């Protein structure tokens, strides 16, 4: 069976997920999380990828990344694999693969789904019952985005910057986004787009991607979760008034 194509476009945010083989653990101690994040920072800088959000779960990783060119995301993930897999094999006396096949990814339309994707990523530990609030989880970007904790990995996307005129305003507006539940239809669409590798956005976004790639890309589901997007936009508008 041929592999599903993966689509990357310069300056378009990309949601990436990579899972452990057979859903097994890929992190075992705090040092493992720290080592991986160190290589994320190196890879992002080396391959010109801006990392907006991330979470390291016990057996998988989510990243929200905007590359400067079409090769950036693939190069970044290859770099991470070539550093982290040998590290784990050496530390724990194991051999063989660590990952469950190739990483999955989907392009995300800014100003429609991007802040929802931030939230989806940083709420993973809450949905899994590991913590009650995202701020309680150490290995995610939430503290950097929401309370300004220093995080050398993060680069703010324009949608995040538009939340307020100052850093404190933006962080306050960002925290406000987490006061309501992420709409289930949004969660479903984010998951489906990852599973199928198709861009997540409206018809105009699809046309933009297809023009950039010179090929049809398809969509896992058309349209957008109107209720969720309107809620996020309302908070953003209030923040900048």
Burial environment of residue 120 by CB neighbours within 10 A (0 to 12, 13 to 18, 19 or more): buried
The pLDDT confidence band at residue 223, using thresholds 50, 70 and 90, is: very low
The edge-to-edge listing of strands for the beta sheet with 104-107 is: 49-56, 60-67, 14-19, 104-107
**Which CATH number applies to 14-234: 1.10.730.10, 3.30.70.1290, 3.20.20.10, 3.40.50.300?**
3.30.70.1290
User: Tens digits of per-residue pLDDT, 44-93?
Assistant: 999 999 999 999 999 999 999 999 999 999 999 999 999 999 999 999 99
Mean pLDDT to the nearest integer, 124-144 = 97
Cite the beta strand spans of 38-101 per DSSP E: 49-56, 60-67
User: Tens digits of per-residue pLDDT, 178-206?
Assistant: 998 899 999 999 999 999 999 999 999 98
């Amino acid at each position: 069976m041929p592999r599903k194509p993966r689509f990357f476009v310069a300056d378009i945010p990309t949601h990436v997920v990579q899972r452990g083989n057979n859903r097994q653990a890929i992190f075992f101690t705090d040092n493992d999380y720290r080592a991986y994040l160190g290589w994320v920072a190196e890879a992002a800088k080396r391959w010109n990828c801006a990392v907006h959000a991330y979470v390291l779960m016990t057996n998988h990783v989510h990243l929200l990344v905007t590359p400067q060119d079409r090769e950036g995301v693939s190069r970044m993930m290859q770099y991470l694999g070539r550093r982290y897999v040998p590290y784990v094999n050496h530390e724990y006396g194991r051999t063989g693969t660590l990952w469950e096949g190739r990483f999955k990814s989907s392009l995300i339309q800014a100003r429609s789904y991007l802040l929802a994707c931030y939230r989806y990523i940083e709420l993973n530990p809450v949905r899994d019952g590991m913590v009650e609030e995202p701020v309680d989880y150490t290995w995610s970007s939430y503290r950097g985005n929401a309370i300004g904790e220093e995080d050398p990995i993060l680069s703010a996307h324009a949608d995040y910057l538009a939340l307020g005129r100052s850093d404190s305003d933006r962080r306050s507006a960002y925290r406000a986004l987490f006061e309501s539940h992420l709409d289930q239809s949004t969660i479903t669409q984010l998951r489906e787009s990852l599973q199928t590798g198709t861009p997540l956005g409206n018809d105009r976004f699809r046309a933009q991607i297809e023009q950039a790639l010179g090929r049809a890309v398809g969509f896992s589901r058309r349209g957008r979760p109107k209720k969720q997007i309107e809620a996020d936009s309302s908070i953003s508008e209030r923040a900048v008034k």
